[in-house]
Amino acid sequence: MTLASFGVDLSAVYFLGRFKSDRTAVVSNNLLVGVLGGLVTGVLLAAVGILFHQQLLRGISTGVFLLFVISVPCLYFNGFAQLIAWGLGRIAGANVSGLIEGSSFLLGTAVVLAVIGPHLVPLIALRVLTAVGISVFLLLYLRRVARYQFRPSGRVLRRQLGYGVKNYASSLLWLVLLQSDLVLCNYFLGSGPTGVYSVAVSLGIPVSMVGAVLGHLIFQRVASDESRPRRIANTNRALRVLLPTLALSAIVLGVSANWLVTLLYGSNFSGAVEALVLILPGLMALSFETVLMNFLAGEGSPSIVYWAPLVGLVINLGANLFVIPRWGINGAATTSTIGYVVVLVLVLRHYLRATRCRPGAVLLLKRGDLQGLWRPGDELSTGLPARAGVT
């Protein structure tokens, strides 16, 4: 469903923040695309499932599959509506839908299993009802907080699409970059070593998630802040705090890797320990780079957002074809780290040149950085030239 959005969903955050005069058009456009796109995606998914049932859905009845497909238009729409709320600065409201979804799945699944038993259809029905309920909630919520008149604009939608396609291309390249090592491991090494490698990657997720969470906040704040010196200053401060946080997290994970793997997965997965240690620097780079990418998305998404992951992907794929057959999952972990670091170097270089900041303004923690990570109006020492208005 994310692949079917063409980046229009994310464009709401940027356009609602940066072009406030187009607010009615952007909200209307994204609601319209969310509804129509969801219906089209659901129909296409149903058609593919029916036509290629034996190849794709062997063992799953057509009725069960079509029951799930009912939720697809709602899930698609919910993604658009959440990002509209995010673009309006209603972050708590956008997160409520996620809380409803998580609570419904956790508590609802427990109730279904206790009352009906382990049957697939009631669980899928629960998912469908949850998606429909969240759609109704988001529609009513946006109607109340956005206070818009439904007036879509083709002119604004074309601008949104032009912006969104760049982020869409970046997302596709990152998807391939992040998953290609697992695919190649499975091809060259088989499912056993690939399973061990997936354990190493999953244990490193907390490191990359830090940057993902912070990046979403940076994206919305940068898009909505009219003062470029201030948004650069606040982003620099966030990055300076992020770097030692990532380093500490990676050190803790690396030191406790052997204990964690044995405790959670058993000694049969001990091979994941070295792979985890090798991939941790790359996950640090990925997390840091995610925040930089979100800043750039809030600045209009220059071409570096897709060129950098393309370079990283080419390097990673080429290296993996050589190292995985020879050094197994440790080779895959090493090439992933190299690929992520290359992307970080390219993006950081662009960021420093575009903002005219010194490296120390981004990398070295300063006194007072921990006192409120984002307070509009703070004057921070960011390394910007004096004429930029921030000292």
Residue spans of alpha helices (H) in the chain: 8-18, 23-51, 53-56, 62-69, 72-87, 91-103, 109-115, 120-146, 154-189, 191-203, 205-224, 228-255, 257-265, 272-298, 304-355, 359-363
Sign of torsion, CA 120 123 125 131? negative
Q: What are phi and psi of 152, to 5 degrees?
A: -60, 155
Per-residue pLDDT of the chain (391 residues; tens, 9 = 90+): 566 788 999 999 999 999 999 999 999 999 999 999 999 999 999 999 999 888 888 788 889 899 999 999 999 999 999 999 999 999 888 888 888 888 887 888 888 888 888 888 898 999 999 999 999 999 999 999 988 889 999 999 999 999 999 999 999 999 999 999 999 999 999 999 999 999 999 999 989 999 999 999 999 999 999 999 999 999 999 999 999 999 999 999 999 999 999 999 998 899 999 999 999 999 999 999 999 999 999 999 999 999 999 999 999 999 999 999 999 999 999 999 999 999 999 999 999 999 999 999 999 998 888 875 445 444 433 334 333 334 2
Q: Show the tokens assigned to 74.
A: 């709602």
> What's 269's DSSP letter?
G
Q: What CA–CA distance (Å, rounded) separates 312 from 338?
A: 8
Q: What CA–CA distance (Å, rounded) separates 70 from 201?
A: 33
Contacts of 39 (CB under 8 A, 6+ apart): 73
How high is the pLDDT of residue 163? 95
How high is the pLDDT of residue 384? 40
Q: Is 105 helix (H, G, I), strand (E, B) or coil?
A: helix
How high is the pLDDT of residue 54? 84
How high is the pLDDT of residue 101? 83
Closest to 347 (Cα-Cα) out of 284, 277, 291: 291
Q: How distant is the alpha carbon of residue 152 from its chain centre?
A: 27
How high is the pLDDT of residue 372? 56
How high is the pLDDT of residue 5? 82
Spell out the SS3 assignment of 336-360: HHHHHHHHHHHHHHHHHHHHCCCHH
Q: What CA–CA distance (Å, rounded) separates 179 from 7?
A: 20
Closest to 350 (Cα-Cα) out of 295, 387, 389, 391: 295
